[in-house]
Amino acid sequence: MKLRLFTWMMAVLAAIEVPLAATAKSGDMIAMQVDAAHSGRTSFDNGFTGPLKRTWSVDLGGAVSYPLIVNGVVYVTVGNPEGGNYGSKLFALSLASGKTIWERDIDGTYFISNAAYDWGRIYVVNSNGVVTAFSADTQGRQVWSVALPFQDSFEAGLTATGGTIYVGGDGFGGNMYALREKDGTIKWDIFLGKGAGSNPAIGDHGVFVSVLCQHYKLSQKTGKILWHIDRGCFGGTLQAIVPVYADGRDYATDPDLREPIVIDSKSGKILSQFDAALIPPAIVDNPGMDPVLIVPDSTDTKVNAVDVNTGAVLWTYNTPGLVGMPVMVINNVVAVGELDGTLALLDVDSGSLVWSTNVGAPIGDIYGDGHPLVGFGAAEGRLVVPAATRLSAYVPQ
């Protein structure tokens, strides 16, 4: 009897999806724009402001993506050098020194792959929809690899949280997929007729997807459509879209209308609209006050602070160059990267310039389709900046 009870208990435990390893600490960077919600906001225990000093800089040979930062290690995907073979690499670098700990080749069409971290593993998707899990330890061993069916264009990246990976693909309409982090098994997939080229944001028990004038909230558990907004336009843009979830709202950029909207995450009601192009906003958390978003305007020549509830522009910073990627809010400053190489820190309350430097190479997406998404990394007291083929780390002086 005791043996049968023990066997039954072991079977029950085996069926439960338990964490694979220790989770990232609060404040680590595990996805595009910091977290699974893509909020673009973080804080350092010892504060953060300019002036900054560069502690290291490395040339990785190809287009550098957004870095992930966990437990003293920087993980970043990098496209193979232009003019060479298609494919990319995944690097693990020391956050302290920039030295390579390990690197892995990622096959695929074009020079693209994008990554996310959860429970001790790095998950990478290439442009063909092959998702591969690597151990985030010093060995970087491959754990599993799965080719997703039906679609053939996966340039938007993926999000991993709570034991599940969420990834969208285009080509023949679009599908959104949920995979088990444990072994890559597909938990659910749903066909979305006009595409799913969205790096999904996770929050409020939902998966938020934006593409081709269509905005969705899907159930995290089943993939069921909880609400759907059709803005009534038509187009063929398949650019990677990064929606943002924060504080009960979905901030949804739109590749065709270029008129982003704020959506109530529960009802799907459109609450307001703001001026921006395709670059997602960063969210300022002001307890007891209206939320504020920081976002480049539709010309990418200004950074605006916008009151979410009223739509009022609270301040504007005119950038010397075009803004090349999303801004990031770190404590009380806003980090801005520009295509002329300018790295600027702004005061989050006033928009005034705190400090700036030129890093010597374009900051942001200068390569376009077929290359990784680009963004800042910020964790453990350091700001990590991608600039063309280089990655550099900065700390306050």
Dihedral over Cα of 221, 224, 228, 233: its sign: positive
Q: Would you list the DSSP string of 296-350?
A: E-TTSSEEEEEETTT--EEEEEE-SS-B-S--EEETTEEEEEBTTSEEEEEETTT
From the list 78, 157, 104, 92, the residue with the least C-alpha distance to 367 is: 78
Output DSSP code: residue 280: P
From CA 136, how far away is CA 237, in angstroms rounded?
A: 35
For residues 17 and 361, the answer to whether their CB atoms sit within 8 Å is no
For the chain, state the CA radius of gyration.
Answer: 20
Alpha-carbon torsion, ordered 388, 171, 75, 247, to 10 deg: 100
Q: Which two tokens stand for residue 230?
A: 């059709």
- What letter would DSSP give residue 81? P
Residue 1's pLDDT is 44
Q: What are the distances in angstroms from CA 324 to CA 60, 337, 338?
A: 19, 6, 5
- How many residues in the chain? 397
Q: Tens-of-pLDDT digits for all 397 residues of the chain? A: 444 443 444 343 333 333 333 455 667 999 999 999 999 999 999 999 999 999 999 999 999 999 999 999 999 999 998 777 899 999 999 999 999 999 999 999 888 899 999 999 999 999 999 999 999 988 899 999 999 999 988 988 899 999 999 999 988 888 999 999 999 999 999 999 877 778 999 999 999 999 878 899 999 999 999 999 998 876 555 567 899 999 999 999 876 667 889 999 999 999 998 988 788 999 997 776 778 999 999 899 999 999 988 889 999 999 988 998 999 999 999 999 999 999 999 999 999 999 999 999 999 876 566 567 899 999 999 999 999 999 999 999 9
What Å distances lie between residue 147 and 110, 136, 160, 191, CA to CA?
A: 17, 21, 17, 17
Residue 136 is which amino acid?
A: A
Contact yes or no for 93/140 (Cβ under 8 A)? no
SS3 label, residue 116: strand
Burial class from Cβ neighbours inside 10 Å (0-12, 13-18, 19+) for residue 352 reads: exposed
- Measure the CA–CA gap between 242 and 110, rounded to whole angstroms: 20
Question: Cα–chain-centroid distance for residue 108?
Answer: 20
The closest of 277, 289, 344 to 314, measured between CA atoms, is 289
Amino acid at position 322, single letter = L
Q: What distance in Å separates the CA atoms of residue 18 and residue 26, rounded to the nearest whole number? A: 19
The two most distant CA atoms of the chain are separated, in Å, by 76
Helix (H) or strand (E) holding 247: none
pTM (2 d.p.)? 0.92
Q: Are 44 and 331 in contact (CB under 8 A)?
A: yes
Dist. CA 130–CA 126, nearest whole Å: 6
| The predicted structure's pLDDT at residue 26 | 63
- The domains found in the chain, sorted by start residue, are 22-396 (2.130.10.10)
